[in-house]
Structure 1
Amino acid sequence: MATSQSEYEQQEASAQDQAAAMATATATATAMTSTAQLLRQRLVNGGTGHETLASATTNGKTASVINTNDYSSGTFMKLKTYLLALRPWSLSASLVPTLLGSALAYRSQWSADFSMLTFFLTAFTVVTVHCAGNVVNTYFDFIKGIDKQKADDRTLVDHILTKDEVVSLGAILYMAGCGGFVLLAVLSPAKMEHLALIYFGGLSSSFLYTGGIGFKYIALGDLVILILFGPISVLFAFMSQTGHVDWTTMGYAIPLALNTEAILHSNNTRDAESDGKAGIVTLAILIGRTASHVLYAMLLFTPYSLFFIFGLKYSLWFLLPLITLPQAFQIEKRFRNEQTMHVVPRQTAKLNFFFGILYIVACCCAQQLPTFAWRKH
């Protein structure tokens, strides 16, 4: 009987130990769940994602949990911040002329030499320089006190990035663009000195737009944008593919150049008051609100008039961009309204993209182009 009693007590003690172990495991799991929910809530509510260790206590038991996604979340947020600093909504201004120049090269008598690798290198080179120019613009607008609390670009105003990070980002982008240009110069049939003249001219202009001379601040920014994101970009893309300089290609850039200038002019008109207080001079400030509206309408609708003429005289394909005309009227209406003026630059950029793509499709599909002395008959 003594032996049986001892065995019974041992079994009872073992059962109590198992119950205690299960209770501890349950408490630990509960603590881990609570901690994970807390971290998730902090991230959703704007947490940085940098928390690496969290602890929770339940019934005197402490459980620690390491968030395995904290580093990846933080990295993702940082990359997203850098991406937004590039102003991706504006990149159609450089990408579409590059596509147009490449399309014209494909339609030329040198189309047999068309290279997709050259095309991608050209697009990469142009877009990286454009991104670098945007970053430089962000930096100098902030340094000169132009970007304040009501500014559209929040990168430095809200301390999303530091000034050193913006400078580093701009330097990296310029170096990446130069690297792309070196590869392009090796692969392209064009003479290196011709490519270099256009490329480094565009690179210098992207920097001097706000840095150095600061064309933007002396009412010359509109002229720089009109030339850089139109004829120069189209000619650069065409020459990279064919190796030839054909000035007639610049004529095709006129509709895109006018539409791109509409983006900048709407931005400067919106910011005219704050720009004036900061002591800079833009075309929108010089001509006033009423004349700025007239100029914006001309920049926005003149390309449609050209396409209508091209469509009647050369090919009906050139009527294709007219599909975007109703949207252009809506944007122009918002331009005249002070309450909706702030959305116009981005909407004009979006219009520029679709407008340009349809124009490129027309150039690829039309049997006859407006002027094509270089076109194979």
Structure 2
Amino acid sequence: MTKFKAWLNAARLRTLPLSVSGIIVGAALAHLEGYSNVLIFSLAICTTIGFQVTSNFANDYGDGVKGTDNDDRIGPKRALQSGILTAKELKTGIMVSVLVNVVVSICLLLVAFGPDQIFLILFFLLLAIASIWAAIKYTVGNSAYGYRGLGDIFVFLFFGLLAVLGSMYLFTNYLSFQAILPAITIGLLSTAVLNLNNLRDAISDQKAGKNTIVVKIGFEKGKIYHFSLLIIAFLSLLFFTFLNYKSWVNVVHLLVFILIFTHGNKIRKTVHPKDIDPELKKLALSTFLLALMFYLSFNYFL
């Protein structure tokens, strides 16, 4: 494998559609309020992808140096685990991606708020720095929160609430109370994707001392937790749809939950952790499809 392919592998491209789902939903909410801006949307997408790539580099590095990524792990081999990239190279990649993230974030904030809104720019820049910190500290360092079962909370906050509400605010400069409902949906579905990862790696994580929620509550209860995330995500979006219903087309996006609950039923019946891996891509892409259909249901089908 070439170095270029190794970096692509470390970037984990299959995770990127999920990472932009919150931005798409935030833009949909803004458009529903009468606001749209292609440049803001494009920069927000680039910023989010940058955060995700940083997170993926950091996860590869953190789990690699801790020995969590080993032969017991069921998923694909990581760049550091396989020896294709060294720890030093990954650290350099993390630093470069952080620098790019900061530059793109500043560009986004200047376009969204203008140079005169210093307070808003500084506030959102702090949120961007917090996102970068969360991306890195999931697995890196002695106090990595992913090893203490806190990953689910951070994913819900950053992939759900911050991604959706923050991106909406970039367009509108205000938030609506109802916007919290689709933000909860995206946050819970993103958390469910992480939970799938933890279900798949439950045995190897336990051996490596990575105390995810699944390791703490067990594989079977982890499956119940997973289905609960899917149900609450559906109910939150159903309530938002009810509050904003004007035509039958406004419910089209809810059809995506047929795919999501079909996936949930598969997880319910799964006995062996190795059978979880194919479901990661299914749920991630279903969440991305849901975000696209949500946009279309309220903005373009009418």
Which interval holds the TM-score relative to the shorter structure?
Answer: 0.7 to 0.9
2: CA distance between counterparts of 1:318 and 1:303? 17
Which structure 2 residues correspond to residues 133-148 of structure 1 after superposition, within 5 A? 133-148=55-70
What SS does the corresponding residue of 2:80 show, helix, strand or coil? coil
In 2, are the aligned partners of 1:304 and 1:321 still within 8 Å (CA)? no
1:87 aligned residue? 12
2: CA distance between counterparts of 1:197 and 1:248? 25
> Of 196, 212, 215, which aligns to 1:282?
212
| 1:249 correspondence with 2:173 | no
| 1:360 correspondence with 2:284 | no
The alignment's TM-score, normalised by the length of structure 2, stands at 0.87
In 1, are the aligned partners of 2:28 and 2:299 still within 8 Å (CA)? yes
2: CA distance between counterparts of 1:182 and 1:326? 39
- 1:214 offset after TM fit, Å? 0.8
Letter in 1 for 2:284: A
In 1, are the aligned partners of 2:65 and 2:87 still within 8 Å (CA)? no
| 1:346 correspondence with 2:281 | yes
Letter in 2 for 1:350: L
In 2, are the aligned partners of 1:331 and 1:344 still within 8 Å (CA)? yes
Higher relative contact order (CA 8 A, sep 6+): 2
1:324 aligned residue? 256
Which structure 2 residues correspond to residues 1-377 of structure 1 after superposition, within 5 A? 77-109=2-34, 111=35, 114-151=36-73, 152=75, 153-189=77-113, 191-212=120-141, 213-244=143-174, 248-312=178-242, 314-315=244-245, 316-335=248-267, 336-337=269-270, 338=272, 340-365=275-300
CA deviation digits over 1:312-366, x for unaligned, max 9?
Answer: 5542334223333343244224323215222222222122111222122223258
- 1:218 offset after TM fit, Å? 0.5
Which one has a bigger Cα radius of gyration?
1
1: CA distance between counterparts of 2:255 and 2:180? 24
- 1:251 offset after TM fit, Å? 3.0
In 2, are the aligned partners of 1:231 and 1:251 still within 8 Å (CA)? no
1: CA distance between counterparts of 2:20 and 2:182? 15
- 1:252 offset after TM fit, Å? 2.4
The alignment's TM-score, normalised by the length of structure 1, stands at 0.71
What SS does the corresponding residue of 1:132 show, helix, strand or coil? helix
1: CA distance between counterparts of 2:254 and 2:165? 25
Letter in 2 for 1:142: G
- 1:150 offset after TM fit, Å? 3.9
CA deviation digits over 1:270-319, x for unaligned, max 9?
Answer: 11111111112111111112211111111123333344445455423342
- 1:174 offset after TM fit, Å? 1.0
1: CA distance between counterparts of 2:122 and 2:175? 12
Gaps of 5+ in 2: none
| Higher helix residue share | 2
In 2, are the aligned partners of 1:275 and 1:281 still within 8 Å (CA)? yes
CA deviation digits over 1:165-191, x for unaligned, max 9?
Answer: 222221111111111012122222262
In structure 2, relative to structure 1, the CA distance for the partners of 1:129 and 1:309 (3 Å cut) is closer
What SS does the corresponding residue of 1:321 show, helix, strand or coil? helix
2: CA distance between counterparts of 1:157 and 1:129? 22
Give the aligned CA root-mean-square deviation in angstroms: 2.2
2: CA distance between counterparts of 1:217 and 1:92? 25
Number of residues of Structure 1 aligned to a counterpart in Structure 2: 289
1: CA distance between counterparts of 2:259 and 2:175? 36
In 2, are the aligned partners of 1:263 and 1:348 still within 8 Å (CA)? yes
Gaps of 5+ in 1: 1-47, 49-76, 368-377
2: CA distance between counterparts of 1:235 and 1:97? 8
2: CA distance between counterparts of 1:96 and 1:203? 18
Identity score, percent = 23
